[in-house]
Structure 1
């Protein structure tokens, strides 16, 4: 690929990339601080298992608004200027973070305020996810999109590295400093988003009712078995093997490394993912992409299994780095397949469906992890989930042979969206 078409040579994409980086740093820092405060406050009056349940519920508080809003936000992302959607959600996150800092300063921050903040974070993420995903293809030439997706993933993964580490370290110094830092980063992201000029976006389909357009997005995912397989594999694998919600338990009560160690643990997956993302941005994956996705999810589950059983901080950190690297490969393949196999006028709605499954695997996975940990203990919960993720991947390889047959990211010559459903074969 020539340097002239590299996404970072495009001013609008540079602003988008830097804004996503700043916002992700702030969001991941906020997530780790919320989790630590919920668990610490709960531990003042509860045992480990009951506090683990509360920790899982903070994920559910973020998932519920996203689940309820998904049909609407996808339609909005295909109807409204996507730049203003991400600007609005960044503003909401900045205000929410500032209010948490104020509550901490005044000394009345408790579980109700933390759960309320989690709901607002869920609302912001519900709108931002489809808009961010659908905006990227409008900023770069089509042939640059896989590289742009890899770079976007790097921005998120670097944020996952820096955010928890910075959040954990600042919180260890002073909780108010942590909230002030996050508020500043959200403000920087907002300024960058305001510099993005107008970009082409398909006009909203005015010949169809809103409900019909919403159903159209879900129907497209159902008909395109390759997109469906990529989305649902991530849903079940990460839903089962997600362990981030239990990191505060491991940091405090299993590995005994405190909030500073928690920051490093939370950054572990981001370290592996960002290094892999950099490699993919310079050497884009071009062959046997579906099979590589399946292998990467199995490696992810195996690494989480090692983490769950480890009592050593260095080994736990290495396992999370490997898990993050494998997850990056899966994210890269999934994101490229979804964006390149979906027409632009439907990207918002299809991205909303994808985000729903991603959030289900993350936030709902946190609730599942917390609930399971409260019943069988945190170690057993992580081990069972990791084994389940490996089993699901093997099952998906049989249920969706389209994944194994996907050799490149190139969509079929005749896109699925223009082929009447009744003329499509099951494995199209």
Structure 2
């Protein structure tokens, strides 16, 4: 919990030491998770050569998140958020250790990857609401929009580092390693480094000086667990912002298909896959750093809708790209546009949510984000199996633009929203 700030001095983000410690944990944990996803994607496609299998990995992570996130939000509001976050990181560490052991022994197959993907989905069901609820508890309210921008920028920076590092380790270890017949030394290297980074993140979170500032909520009940859903449903601006992200990324996301583009279309290897996964985060980091300094002062709703339209357009550009530089540029533009959406959406949600509701509201937000990411990966894999990878990406990008036009009409209060904080 941040110390009170003297009236004579404005609070500064760099003075919020526990918040900075949480940022360090996010860098390590997010980079580790991204490395895991690079190895999972390349390994399952190497085993199956199937776009459908890539989609199933996303579905395997989405379904447990859908089932467990709302109850997890209730738990986050009733228990120490640090230890909820530590528990989610520990589960991811278990997954990394199992996959490293199995890849070294040569017994990991697509079924093992799908099973451990379910565990990753459960871990994320707890991790996302815990993270979203912790951040506002560690900084003064006046710093929250900048803290959200800085956190998102740091997370995107980790998304740059993680895939690029994961792809490089996979490629290097595949050449340098040897072992059991059927072993995958590249995957072993990535899973091993991910495990170490997750352990570092756990230590950083455990050291946070955080105390809950609200009374325990009532025992678990249907009304209590679903309170966050009702809270969002009654606020059209918040509902429009969250659902816009859901449908836009659900349709426009191409992450699950990157192994296919890397190997079959752009003719590159695991190192190139790492660069493709990192490219959106490069654009996001640039925008995030700018927003952390300047912020969005006016026309927040118009910025949000416009950014999602640019995201859809850049997705179409990526689908049409046939050279690595152009593909990386389109992905970077998509990531930059997505960062505008993330910062505006998260700021709106956190500024309008009371502290004793943050876990449950964050859980609903996590369900929407999880649906847009994991279910979007399944949608991409399924449509790629029918239309091919290029057709899937082009259809998704066009669908995203259609969603923006619909939301402009369906949520006029969102389109007219000027300031991030309600006046």
TM-score range, shorter chain: over 0.9
| CA deviation map 1:73-106 (0-9, x unaligned) | 1111111111110011111111210111111111
SS at match of 2:78: coil
SS at match of 2:41: helix
Moved segments of 4+, more than 4 Å: none
Aligned to 2:397: 386
* Equivalence map 1:99-178=2 (5 Å): 99-174=98-173, 175=186, 176-178=188-190
Deviation at 1:70, TM superposition (A): 1.9
Structure 2 CA distance for aligned equivalents of residues 271 and 4 of structure 1:
31
Contact 2:80 2:212 in 1 (8 A): no
2:365 is the counterpart of 1:359? no
Say how many residue pairs are matched: 404
Structure 2 CA distance for aligned equivalents of residues 257 and 4 of structure 1:
50
SS at match of 1:213: helix
RMSD: 1.4
* Equivalence map 1:56-75=2 (5 Å): 56-75=55-74
Aligned to 1:401: 412
Structure 2 CA distance for aligned equivalents of residues 205 and 30 of structure 1:
35
How does the TM-score come out when normalised to structure 1? Answer: 0.92
2:288 is the counterpart of 1:288? no
How does the TM-score come out when normalised to structure 2? Answer: 0.93
* Equivalence map 1:249-268=2 (5 Å): 249-268=260-279
2:322 is the counterpart of 1:311? yes
2:21 is the counterpart of 1:10? no
Structure 2 CA distance for aligned equivalents of residues 291 and 3 of structure 1:
34
| CA deviation map 1:346-391 (0-9, x unaligned) | 1111111111011101000000000000011110000001000001
SS at match of 1:377: helix
Structure 1 CA distance for aligned equivalents of residues 213 and 389 of structure 2:
46
Contact 1:139 1:199 in 2 (8 A): no
Aligned pair partner of 1:196 in 208, 211, 235: 208
Aligned pair partner of 1:41 in 17, 32, 47: 47
Structure 1 CA distance for aligned equivalents of residues 95 and 14 of structure 2:
31
Aligned to 2:4: none
SS at match of 1:237: helix
Residues 63 and 3 of structure 1: is their aligned pair in 2 closer, same or farther, counting only changes over 3 Å?
A: farther
> Gaps spanning 5+ residues in structure 2: where?
1-7, 174-185
2:197 is the counterpart of 1:185? yes
Contact 2:300 2:418 in 1 (8 A): yes
Aligned to 2:181: none
SS at match of 2:189: helix
Deviation at 1:4, TM superposition (A): 5.4
Aligned pair partner of 1:330 in 341, 346, 371: 341
Aligned to 1:274: 285
Deviation at 1:209, TM superposition (A): 5.5
> Gaps spanning 5+ residues in structure 1: where?
44-50, 413-428
Deviation at 1:123, TM superposition (A): 0.5
Aligned to 2:26: 20
